[in-house]
Amino acid sequence: MKIKHFALYCAAALGASAASLPALADTATGSMDVQIIITANCTVSGSTNTLDFGSNPSTSTDASANNGGFSVTCSNMTPYSIGLKSTATGALDDGAGVMSTTAPGVTQTIGYQLYQDAGFGTAWGNSTTGTVNTKAGTGTGAAQPYTVYGKTTTSLNVPAATYKDTVAINVYY
């Protein structure tokens, strides 16, 4: 019995409060902005791929390679240019580098030049002014692969050892 009375009391209270609400006759409107700021972004991946000149006898006159590479991912429609520069002391922006060895007592080095094409016609360096030798691209939002070509520029008549250098990959956007 108490439950019936309570239910009737609640129904009566709701009816009374609903009856006291005014009728909605007009509508006020407004607006708000919704926004997101997308910034340009680029990343380099796969940069551990070695430009490997292979094994060559010291009697060889030169060596070439076309197996180095990396990928660049930039925001969709973002223009960019890629520069390559040897990290060897004294390296310039012309795409030339010097490989050295850590073998004891060996001071000889092997010079090399980086290229953008398999015909070794376009140097790939890090100069963005003057004689530009960077490679241009436009971002798609997906990884875009690039192959690096190289050719030795000095004699290979050096002591037997492994000669190495590190190349910095710079993406300007």
Nearest-angstrom CA–CA distance, 135 and 146 = 10
pLDDT band at 129 (very low <50, low <70, confident <90, very high): confident
- The pLDDT score that the predictor gives to residue 159 is 96
Supply angle C-alpha 117, 93, 39, rounded to 5. Answer: 85
Q: How far apart are CA 56 and CA 93, in angstroms?
A: 27
C-alpha 117/C-alpha 49 separation (Å) is: 17
pLDDT reported for residue 2: 56
Domain covering 42-172, topology: Immunoglobulin-like (2.60.40)
Mean pLDDT calculated for residue range 72-100: 96
| 105-124 pLDDT tens trace | 999 999 999 999 999 999 99
Q: Is the pTM of this model over 0.75?
A: yes
CB 87 within 8 A of CB 100: no
Q: What is the pLDDT of residue 130?
A: 83
The position carrying tokens 């004699």 is 155
